[in-house]
Every structure is written in C-alpha cells, then in structure tokens.
Chains A and B, each alone.
Chain A
Amino acid sequence: MHISVNVDGVTYADEVEPRLLLVHYLRERLGKTGTVVGCDTGNCGACTVHLDGHSIKSCSLFAVQANGREITTIEGLARDGKLHPVQQAFHSNHALQCGFCTPGMIMQAIDLLADEPDPDDETVRKGLEGNLCRCTGYQNIVRAVQDAAQRMKPGAGPEIEQRTPHAVGGE
C-alpha cells in the first residue's frame, strides 16, 4: 500500500506491506532508530512516539494507520539545537541509566505533561505506568517529569502538542 507520513517534519511517501508495524517502518525504512522495540505485547512502551501530538505505542500500530498523519519521534524533539525541556530534565535529574526506555519514556512524559501541567508524584507514576524501566527504579524519572513541568510553566510542549485535538487514542 502507498502511504504518506510526516515524520519529524519531513514527509515520506512509501510503498509498504499492510502488515508492516509502524515501529519497523520508522526503524528499518526511515532509519529512525531512536525509537526502539522492547517487547511484543505493548507492555514496555519503549517504542512510544507521538501520532498527531499524542503518544502511541508504535509497535501496536501498522504503518498504514499513520497514512496522512504526523509522527514525532525522540529525534524530532530538539529544536534549533536546543533540547526539549523534558529531555533536559531527564539529563539534569539522572533519570536514565542504560537509556533504552528513555525515548519512549520522554515521549510519554511529554504527553502526560500536556494533560497534566503540574502533576504530583502519583499522577506521574500512573501516567507512566505503560512504560517500563529496569534501571532507575523510576525515582529520578518522576523527579525529572516534575522538574520539566516547572521548566515548562505555564504548560507547554512542542507546537504539535498544543494544536492538535485529541483524535487518536492509539493504546
């Protein structure tokens, strides 16, 4: 099938098999290897990207379902050489160790902060429930997300987070 997808600001047009998973399209076809695969059941969240501004697990969508949509991956967050505040907060709070879950965790955290601009500890923990980390015990991730919320006051995120209505649930 023919699809046209905007990924991190670039529009791609490709022939794909209907069964091709979105995450494999991103990794294998577009070379967007910042997004990774950690499981086959949608539990780990390592493959989380944004579809029209909202987090989805790209292992649970077919590439064809992204036809005509905008995808943002971890590679598209930094603007003009400047890290996204959530990326910066993950660094500043030592919220990653091996870093494999980190792209998905950051993408999910941005989505969470779009809904909850000033989340408490429990809100962050529940909001990240679908993303597993084996290294950090989550403590510094929670701290980073709350720190990012402060950095982004009065509530922000990239443009794409703000203008798109809730269209796709994805999970």
Chain B
Amino acid sequence: MTATAEPEIGKARLRKEDTRLITGQTRWTDNLQLTGMLHMAVLRSPVAHARITNVDVSRATAMPGVALVLTGEDLAAEQGSLPCAWPITEDMKAPAAPALAVDRVNFAGEAVALVIADSAYHAADALSEIDVDYDELPVVLDLEEAVRDNDLVHEDLGTNKSATWVYDSAEAGSGTDVEDEIASAEVVVERTFRQQRLIPAFMEPRSVVVDPAAGMFTVWSATQIPHILRWMLSAVTGIAEHKIRVIAPDVGGGFGGKLQVTPEELLCLLVARRMGRPVKWTETRTESMLSAHHGRDQLQKITLAARRDGTVTGLKVELLADMGAYLRLVTPGVPILGAFMFNAIYKFAAYRFVCTNVFTNKVPTDAYRGAGRPEATFAIERMMDELAVELGMDPMKVRELNWIKHEEFPFTTVAGLTYDSGNYEAATARAMELFDYDGLREEQARRRADGSPFQIGIGISTFTEMCGLAPSRVLGALRYGAGGWETASIRMLPTGKVEVITGTSPHGQGHETVWSQIVADKLGVPFEDVEVLHGDTATSHKGMDSYGSRSLAVGGTALVHAADKVLAKAKTLAAHMMECDETDVEFASGAFSVRGTSTSRSLGDVVLAAHVAHDLPEGMEPGLDADATFDPDNFSYPHGTHLCATEVDTETGLVKIIRYVAVDDVGTVMNPLIVDGQVHGGLAQGIAQALYEEATHDEMGTLTSATLADYLVPSAADLPSFITDRTTTPATSNPLGAKGVGEAGTIASTPAVVNSVLDAVRHLGVRDIEMPMSPERVWTALQGRGDPGSGDVAAGGLGSIDAQGGQE
C-alpha cells in the first residue's frame, strides 16, 4: 500500500463522478427499464379550487394499452395523507393531504386521476379521454387577502392561517424589548419586501420506478432523501419499513426541490402494489412546474430601530409566508429557519420575529436552496442599505459599525444562537480589494455627474447563515420531526481497498470525490482505493440525507470518526503484530511503526491480519470495519462579503452585472475546485431571483410560468463571470473545521444585486423595485421618477414601497 504523497484534504481533486457523467453512462431513474414495467401518467387539475363532482374514466379505460385508470375515490381508503414532518406549533392547522384528490382540488396542477398503461405514450393518450367535472370555488391567491379569511382554501379549517410562530428576545432573555427600542430610537426605518415565489427547476425531471418483485418494494426515485422517503412511505402506507428499499441512483440536481415525499412516489408504490408489476412515472417539465413544490413566497414587514450615529438597536420582523395549498414535508418550517438569521452578523439589542403561515390555492411551497435564510438575508441586507441612505452614510460603514468583531467570537446573538467563529473584517477587506470599491465609486460619481444613460450601482451583502441542520436536540426543540445527525461506515477490504458508506445523498455535490479525499487522508490510502457507496437503503441503511449544507459538516465528520475507530483498532493489532506496547506505536502515511525502530507494518498488512484473524489479541473481533454517527453540538456559520456592480441602462431598464466579487468563509476547504463550483452555482440562483425568475399566476390561479420558456432560468448569456476568493476561520463545531457551502452563494447574492441596482437609480428618485428586476420593472420605476407613488407601479402593486421610506 502506498502512502499519499501530499495531503488529500484541501487538494483540487478532479471528480470521480465525472467519468460516467461525461460519457452518458449515468444511471438516471428514468433510464430504468424493467421487464413487464407499466407506465403511470397523472391527470392534473386545470383549476385552482373546485369540488370534483364527477370523474368519467370509461373512455380512457378502453384506450389501447391501458391497464388501469384510477381516481381519488379508488385510492381514498389506502392513500392516507402525505406527511408533514414539521408541525411548528402545538396548534398548527394542517389539512389532510391526499396524494390523489378525492372530492376537491386546492391548486391547479393537483393530481386527480392516474392512467397506467404499457407505454408512456399510451398513458398520455388516455389522460385526454378522462372527463372531470369541476364545481369551481373562490380562489385564494394573495397573502394579505388570504389572512382576512373572506374565502377559505380549506373550509374545514375555518381559517387560512395555519400557524403563527414567534421569537421575542425579551421573552427569551436574549435581549431587550423591541417595542422599547423602537419607541426610544432616533431613527426608525420601516420597509415591506416581497420574496417572490420561485421554482427550484432542477434539470432532471422527477422520476419514480417501483418494483414489487420478490416480496420487497424497491423504489428508485430522483430524490435527495432516500432514507427519509423510506421511513415516510412506510409510515403513510403501513408497508413494513424493512419491506421497502429506496434507491436514489444518479440524481440530477435538487436544490431542496427533491427534499420531498411526493404524491407521485406514494402513488407509484400503491399502483405497483395493486398491479403486482413494476411501475414508472416520469414527469414532464410542465408537470414539474405545476406540481413539484415551489420556494420562497413571503411578504416581509421589517422595522429597524437605530441611533443617528448608525448603531442599530432593534429589529422587528413580521412575515406572511405562503404555504400554498398543503403542508408538505417541511413546508411550515422553512420560514422558521429564517427566524434566527434576520439579525445576521449585527449586534441588535432587541429582536422580535413573528411569522404567520398562510394557505393559498397554489402549489405547496417547501425547501429551495437556502430555505428561509435567503429571505432573512435579503431583508436585513436591504435594511442596512436603507438605513445607510436614511443617515447619509456609506453602506459598508454602517455594516462595519454594527457587525460582530472577530475578537468577539464565540458570540451569542439576540436570536439565541452562538456563532462559533468568523472574521467579517477579513472577508470584507479582501472583497473590497478584489472589487476596487473606491475605483467603482469614483466611476459611479463620474457617470452621475455626466448624466450618462448607463448608471452604475454598487451593492453589498455581508451575510451569514446557519448550516448543518443539526444538532438533533435543537431540531427537537423546534418541533422538527427528525434528528440532525449523520452516519458513516468504513469497510476495510482484505486487499486493502476501502468502501465508505455514507448516509448523505449527493445529487451533484461531489461527495464521492470529497469523501474519498477525507478517508484517503485519514487512513493514508490512495484516493483511488476508496469507493463511496450511498443512496441505497440496502447498503446505506440509515442516514438523514442531503440538504441544508449539512453533508460535509455533519456527514463528513461521521466519516472522520469512523476512520478514527478503524485506526484505533488497527493500532492495537499492529502493536500485537510487532510485539510492542501500543503506546510505542506511531501511525503515519498509511503505516504503523514502533517508535525509534525500523519495524513497521502497513495498514494493509494489519487489515489482512484482522481479516484472516489467525492471530488476534485476546478478545478482539475479526475485521477492522467501523461505524460512526455524529450529532454536532452547534450549527455552523459560513459567512462572506459579496459585492456587486451593475450597470443600469436607464433608457431600457436593462440591468447588466459588470463585476461580482464573492469572498466566502466556509471554514476549512476540502476541495477548492468543488467549493468554487458550489459558489458559482449558488450565485447563479441568487442572481436569478434578483433579476429573472418568478412563478406567476393569473387571477384564476393558473401558473402562467409553467415552462422553461416562461420561467426564466438564466442561460450562460445572462450571467457574468464571477470573481471568487476565500478567507478561512475554521468551524469549531466539527474536527474538519468545515462550515458548509451549498447555499452560501444563493443566500448572499440576491440582496447584493438588488442593492446594487437601487444604488444605480436611487438618485433618479427610485426607492425600490420589486424582484425580479426585469427591464420592464426597472424602466417603469424610472418613468415614475420623483413621483412618490411610482414604486407601486414598479412593484406590481404588492407593497415593496412604504410611503414614508427611502429618500428622494
């Protein structure tokens, strides 16, 4: 066995995963073809709110190739209710959530009937032959209208308000009373922001195959959460958990959008059970837009109290969060993940957060990259700019004045979290240098003075986030239905090769590469000798899967602990083999040696000795395999400073990003290539929220952005090149020092872009522009320059502007 020549951790290793992905050898769920397999197609409601009065399937049943047509009535007795694992309050109102609508539909796109046929084409043909009569009900779409309870999404609940969740620093003992701070403030800034509804838009459409053969239900699904899915499918259907095996093969992106127990997964399982044959369902893109969960969608009223010198004192956050029509897996908890982040990196004396979760007749919302934290970061970073404008101060100066200094860590915030490490000064200094902040300010002044039609703006976002979605006891205190630990196993094979089993479930992140690096480093084995197994509950029997930037900080740490166990046992055996005292054994570069002698045994020698078990110390079990489960004692807190310069064409409203600098502190980096990739992709999604993407509905509740022609996922031509760099303060909550990077770019970038555009046009009388900042919205805002009501036009009427806010 050869020792690794240089440390694997920190190395820009090219990815193991690529080989199959660049040659078309990938196994996507939809690639599977099983003998006798049937194809399921789903008929979806074209109306947003209605009673189903009749479903006629007679013509569909007679169509060629059709094996079965099922309605909600047919499955009502066995389908149960889709799970919601995060009842945020004791008295939360949760409607029954049937996978297939029985007598009522609550959003356009909800499943109402199934065709099971011998081919996908035949199944699709028969869908158009099903006749459904709908008795339409009033449609509830607007959040502010919904809370008035004039029309109800779920009549039986008696209200559209699902739950109200409160955090108050005075009550929690983590700070003073926010009303006192507001009353005594020298400056109060109040703003209302809209977090538009987004669609995760993973590139691989969802797909499920269920094979009921041999007394076992094998479920392949394009999911982020094979372990949770297995548990939930069992809980909902009553099929014993050990009779369900879930496999997430190669999964083409998720971004939170595949963190779900979907109606279609459950329906495929029920149909396969009923038919006794394998069943596949693969969605079209339009189905994905119409029925896979959406993200964001909040109305945020923010009140910030400060002193004239720029010191912030109080922050009050009042949210309305759109649940859509049902509570999916973690729907109610998404805005609550933001509750601890509105105060961000700043030292507020008082903080109050009140969120009301509201039902509407729209697709359910749930996790989307950042989940609650982008919303919080957007609001606070916009508010810091608004405060700077109010006080006539430089927006970076206002931030510097208020942020936690590097020598103050660990720091317990007004929201009750303890930030373990960070250095906001260092990240900011590096970003300012890369950005040429002063130079761009000069250019901005020149263009303003010249009255150029191309105005420049600078936007800042000095963000932090909470990652890991752990520890379990905190998740329990928040009434989350699962834990936050992660698990790993290491199998030492007799030839010295290593199998690693992880409970994380990658879908593009590169865990196979990075987990191999970590194990190679710890055990001193070659990178190529490590194989990472994941995403199959038969090989990886437990895990909490991948979301919330948790895989490395939590799952990677479990791996380190498993490797430590392997080495501890190997050391005992090595001492036995070399006939020395264990305290004299040293381990380096994959070999054990006796201190001060040339006697040594490679790890491979020890593994083989453990495997054949011919001569083990008294009481030692054969083999060197080890398992470990890690539950951290704190979240991790990546942070960074993002600076965005935009050029706004004031004649057309077109926004162009001319420079984007992201300096992130994600703790210790395992693989810089992968970290940069995560940041790039995250930035793209955050910028897309600022400039391009929005799920829109007509007044009947029909999703009018249900294709990729209407929902503007940016192309290469829409995005700039990014300048990325890092500063590093290791996390103290895990031995790797890792903080997480999956969501950072998305969380940080949206306010940087929006602040930048507003900075470019504020001197022209524009005080806010609602997202996405399309040319039309920017242009319209500019037309109304100087008119106090102009913002309402720009914002499409949904209250992005407060009459008393902003400056002229």
Which residues of A are in contact with B by a Cβ distance under 8 Å? Answer: 17, 19-20, 24, 27-28, 31-41, 43-44, 46, 73-75, 77-78, 83, 87, 90-92, 94, 96-103, 106, 121, 124-126, 128-142
Cα–Cα, bound, A103→B14 (Å): 18
Instruction: Say which one of B22-30, B170-178, B444-452, B731-739 lies at the interface with A.
Output: B22-30
Give the shortest distance, in Å, between B287 (CB) and chain A (any CB). 9
Which residues on B sit within 8 Å (CB–CB) of A38? 203-205, 285
Cα–Cα, bound, A98→B121 (Å): 28
Contact in complex: B677, A97 (CB < 8 Å): yes
Interface residue? B507 (CB, 8 A): yes
Interface residue? B620 (CB, 8 A): no
Which residues on A sit within 8 Å (CB–CB) of B681? 97, 134-137
Contact in complex: A44, B31 (CB < 8 Å): no
Contacts A43-B708, A140-B680 given; does A103 touch B24 at CB 8 Å: yes
Interface residue? B684 (CB, 8 A): yes
Cα–Cα, bound, A92→B15 (Å): 9
Which residues on A sit within 8 Å (CB–CB) of B676? 94, 140
Which residues on A sit within 8 Å (CB–CB) of B19? 91
Interface residue? B715 (CB, 8 A): yes
Cα–Cα, bound, A28→B23 (Å): 18
Contacts A33-B28, A73-B24 given; does A137 touch B684 at CB 8 Å: yes
Contact in complex: B252, A100 (CB < 8 Å): yes
Contact in complex: A142, B716 (CB < 8 Å): yes
Of residues B25, B28, B201, which shows the largest number of chain A Cβ atoms within 10 Å of its Cβ? Answer: B28
Cα–Cα, bound, A75→B25 (Å): 8
Chain B residues numbered 319-354 whose CB sits less than 8 Å from any CB in chain A: none
The listed residue (A27, A74, A106, A129) touching B717 by CB distance below 8 A is: A129
Which residues on A sit within 8 Å (CB–CB) of B121? 17, 19-20, 24
Contact in complex: A74, B23 (CB < 8 Å): yes
Cα–Cα, bound, A165→B375 (Å): 52
Which residues on B sit within 8 Å (CB–CB) of A124? 716
Give the shortest distance, in Å, between A59 (CB) and chain B (any CB). 10
Contact in complex: A96, B28 (CB < 8 Å): no
Contact in complex: B708, A41 (CB < 8 Å): yes
Interface residue? B276 (CB, 8 A): no
Contacts A34-B23, A40-B285, A103-B24 given; does A128 touch B508 at CB 8 Å: no
Interface residue? B95 (CB, 8 A): no
Interface residue? B21 (CB, 8 A): yes
Chain B residues numbered 536-573 whose CB sits less than 8 Å from any CB in chain A: none
Contact in complex: B24, A41 (CB < 8 Å): no
Which residue on chain B has the smallest CB distance to residue A91? Answer: B18
Contact in complex: B683, A36 (CB < 8 Å): no
Which residues on A sit within 8 Å (CB–CB) of B510? 97
Interface residue? B179 (CB, 8 A): no
The listed residue (A100, A102, A128, A136) touching B22 by CB distance below 8 A is: A102
Contacts A36-B204, A83-B22, A98-B203 given; does A142 touch B717 at CB 8 Å: no
Contact in complex: B508, A41 (CB < 8 Å): no
Contacts A43-B708, A87-B23 given; does A139 touch B721 at CB 8 Å: yes
Which residues on B sit within 8 Å (CB–CB) of A129? 715-717
The listed residue (B14, B24, B253, B709) touching A94 by CB distance below 8 A is: B14
Cα–Cα, bound, A87→B20 (Å): 11
Of residues B25, B31, B253, B676, which shows the largest number of chain A Cβ atoms within 10 Å of its Cβ? Answer: B253
Closest 5 CB pairs of A and B: A34-B24, A98-B508, A99-B21, A100-B252, A137-B680
Contact in complex: B23, A83 (CB < 8 Å): yes
Give the shortest distance, in Å, between A62 (CB) and chain B (any CB). 13
Interface residue? B647 (CB, 8 A): no
In this complex, the interface size class of chain B, counting residues with CB under 8 Å from chain A, is 35 or more
List 15 additional A-B contacts (Cβ < 8 Å) besides A38-B203, A121-B721.
Answer: A24-B121, A33-B30, A34-B23, A38-B205, A38-B285, A40-B286, A41-B707, A94-B14, A97-B253, A98-B251, A124-B716, A134-B203, A134-B713, A135-B253, A137-B722
Cα–Cα, bound, A40→B250 (Å): 21
Which residues on B sit within 8 Å (CB–CB) of A32? 24
The listed residue (B21, B33, B708, B719) touching A138 by CB distance below 8 A is: B719
Give the shortest distance, in Å, between A48 (CB) and chain B (any CB). 12
Give the shortest distance, in Å, between A80 (CB) and chain B (any CB). 14
Cα–Cα, bound, A124→B722 (Å): 16
Binary contact readout B692-705 vs A (1 if CB under 8 angstroms, 0 otherwise):
00000000000000
Which residue on chain B has the smallest CB distance to residue A19? Answer: B121
Interface residue? B220 (CB, 8 A): no
Which residues on A sit within 8 Å (CB–CB) of B203? 38, 44, 46, 98, 100-101, 132-135
Of residues B14, B252, B284, which shows the largest number of chain A Cβ atoms within 10 Å of its Cβ? Answer: B252
Which residues on B sit within 8 Å (CB–CB) of A142? 716, 721
Cα–Cα, bound, A37→B454 (Å): 40
Interface residue? B240 (CB, 8 A): no
Which residues on B sit within 8 Å (CB–CB) of A28? 33
Contact in complex: B707, A39 (CB < 8 Å): yes
Cα–Cα, bound, A83→B25 (Å): 13
Interface residue? B107 (CB, 8 A): no
Interface residue? B96 (CB, 8 A): no
Contact in complex: B24, A74 (CB < 8 Å): yes
Contacts A41-B285, A98-B252, A134-B255 given; does A78 touch B508 at CB 8 Å: no
Contact in complex: B21, A137 (CB < 8 Å): no
Cα–Cα, bound, A28→B122 (Å): 14
Which residue on chain B has the smallest CB distance to residue A77? Answer: B23
Contacts A34-B26, A83-B23, A138-B684 given; does A98 touch B507 at CB 8 Å: yes
Chain B residues numbered 78-123 whose CB sits less than 8 Å from any CB in chain A: 121
Which residues on B sit within 8 Å (CB–CB) of A100? 28, 202-204, 252-253
Give the shortest distance, in Å, between B513 (CB) and chain A (any CB). 10
Cα–Cα, bound, A103→B676 (Å): 22
Contact sample, A vs B, 10 pairs, CB 8 Å cutoff: A27-B31, A33-B30, A94-B676, A96-B21, A101-B203, A106-B22, A130-B715, A134-B255, A135-B681, A140-B676
Which residue on chain B has the smallest CB distance to residue A21? Answer: B121
Cα–Cα, bound, A32→B279 (Å): 21
Contacts A38-B204, A128-B716, A132-B715 given; does A94 touch B677 at CB 8 Å: yes
Cα–Cα, bound, A96→B202 (Å): 14
Interface residue? B213 (CB, 8 A): no
Which residues on A sit within 8 Å (CB–CB) of B708? 39, 41, 43-44, 132
Contact in complex: B715, A94 (CB < 8 Å): no
Cα–Cα, bound, A137→B680 (Å): 5
Interface residue? B17 (CB, 8 A): yes
The listed residue (B18, B683, B719) touching A96 by CB distance below 8 A is: B18
The listed residue (B33, B509, B709, B716) touching A41 by CB distance below 8 A is: B709
Of residues B19, B203, B673, B722, which shows the largest number of chain A Cβ atoms within 10 Å of its Cβ? Answer: B203
Cα–Cα, bound, A27→B429 (Å): 52
Chain B residues numbered 600-641 whose CB sits less than 8 Å from any CB in chain A: none
Give the shortest distance, in Å, between A152 (CB) and chain B (any CB). 16
Which residues on A sit within 8 Å (CB–CB) of B680? 136-140
The listed residue (A20, A75, A125) touching B716 by CB distance below 8 A is: A125
Which residue on chain B has the smallest CB distance to residue A78? Answer: B23
Give the shortest distance, in Å, between A13 (CB) and chain B (any CB). 21
Which residues on A sit within 8 Å (CB–CB) of B252? 36, 98-100
Cα–Cα, bound, A125→B713 (Å): 15
Cα–Cα, bound, A45→B26 (Å): 17
Which residues on A sit within 8 Å (CB–CB) of B677? 94, 97, 135-136, 140
Give the shortest distance, in Å, between B358 (CB) and chain A (any CB). 28
Which residues on A sit within 8 Å (CB–CB) of B690? none
Cα–Cα, bound, A126→B716 (Å): 7
Of residues B17, B24, B204, B673, which shows the largest number of chain A Cβ atoms within 10 Å of its Cβ? Answer: B24
Interface residue? B674 (CB, 8 A): yes
Which residue on chain A has the smallest CB distance to residue B27? Answer: A33
Contact in complex: B22, A139 (CB < 8 Å): no
Which residue on chain B has the smallest CB distance to residue A98? Answer: B508
Give the shortest distance, in Å, between B9 (CB) and chain A (any CB). 17
Which residues on A sit within 8 Å (CB–CB) of B22? 74, 83, 87, 90-91, 96, 99, 102-103, 106
Chain B residues numbered 505-543 whose CB sits less than 8 Å from any CB in chain A: 507-510
Contact in complex: A132, B717 (CB < 8 Å): no
